[in-house]
Structure 1
Amino acid sequence: MRHRAWQNRRAADAAQAVVFRSAPAVVAIGLVLLAVAPARADVPDPGWLEGDPGQKLNVRGMTFVASEGGANEILLRAERADFYPEREVADLDVVDVEVTPGDDRVGFRMRCDEGLLNLANQAFVAQGHVVGTIEGNRQFEALWVAYDEVEGVLYTDDPVLIVDEDGRYRGGGFRYFVNESRFRLQGGATVVQGP
C-alpha cells in the first residue's frame, strides 16, 4: 500500500519537474531558479518491506512502547498502521513519537504525516510534514527525518528549518546525537531571522 509510495518517491518528484521548451531567456531563468533552490535529498528506503512483506494487519490507534526496566524509552502513537508481523515493521499514518529523557540522553519529540517503524531495532523513518523538538527546546521542520536507535542519531539530509531562542536557521540537514545531546546543522547554515 503506502510502502509503494516510498519506492516511487523519486518518480513522483520527477513528474513534478517543469520542462521549459520556449525562448532561451525562459530557460535561463529556470536554470537560475534551480541553482538557488535548496537540494532535496531522497527519503531513505531502509528496505524493510522489500519483496513479499507477508501478512498485513490493519490497525487503528496503534501505540508502541519500548521500555527498559521501569522506564519507557520510546513511545510512538499512530492514528493508523499497516503492521507486517513477519518483518516486525509498521507502515504508519499521522504519527507522534517521543524518545524520553534518560540517564544517558536528553530525548526528543516529533510529529509526522507518515512513517515506517522497525520494531526489532526501534529505528524509524518519518516523512511528510515532520516537526519536532530536541534539547534546549530547539524546534525543527523538514520533509523527512530518520532515527537510528543503534547509533542514537536523529537525522535528515533534506533542507531543514531550525528555530531556537537565538533565531531561525536553514540548513541542508542535521544530525542530533541523542545520547550525547549534541546537535550539528549540515550543509551551510543561513540565518533566516534573528530573535
Structure 2
Amino acid sequence: MAGPKNERTSSGGSATAEAVRRVVAPAVDAEGLFLESVSATRAGARSVVRVTVDLPEDAVGSLGSDALDAVSRAISAALDADDVVRGVYVLEVSTPGTSRPLTELRHFKRARTRLVTLSLVDGGEAEGRLQDVVAGTDGDELVLEDGGRFPVATVRQGRVEVELKRVDDADLGDDDDDDDADDAGDARTQEG
C-alpha cells in the first residue's frame, strides 16, 4: 500500500538514510508502527525520501489508509522540524506489500493467516496458510493450517501468495446492509 507523495523544500544538510531514519523513527514509534526501511536518494534537482512502515509483528492484518495518512503527516512534520533533507524533496511513505520476501522472523509473524509459499534450505517447497509462529524444540517454527511445522532455520525465504477474496469472506448478497455501509466508510483512496 503506497501512501501519499509530498514535495517539500528544506534548507538543511545532506540527507543520508541513517540521518533520516534517526529523525523519523520517533514519529513512526509514536504512531504505534514499525519502521521497516528508509532510503534517501538524489534524483536530479531533488531528493527522494522513501519510508516503509508496517504494523508491529504481533498484529494480524493490513495497515489501513487512515493510519498510513497519519504516519505520513507525522514523518513529514519530523523531517520539516529537523531540516535533515537539503533542498526540494519528495516523501514517499508506504507499506511493504505482499511482494516483500519473508526473510526475517517478524516478516513471518506479520504473515500469519496468509497463504504462503516457503522455499526450504534443502531445495524443497511448502505451501499453506500460515497459522502461527511458535517456539519449538529447535527454535522458532512456522505452523501451517494443515499441521505442517517448519523450523525457521530450515526456511530460506517465504512469500505471501496473492489471493482473490475467499468464498467464506465474500459478500454473497446477504440482507445485512448495515454492515456493508460500515465497511464502505472505512475505504480510502490515495493518489501519489
**TM-score greater than 0.5 by the shorter chain:** no
Higher relative helix content: 2
TM-score normalized with structure 2 length: 0.28
Higher relative strand content: 1
TM-score normalized with structure 1 length: 0.28
Q: Rg larger in 1 or in 2?
A: 2
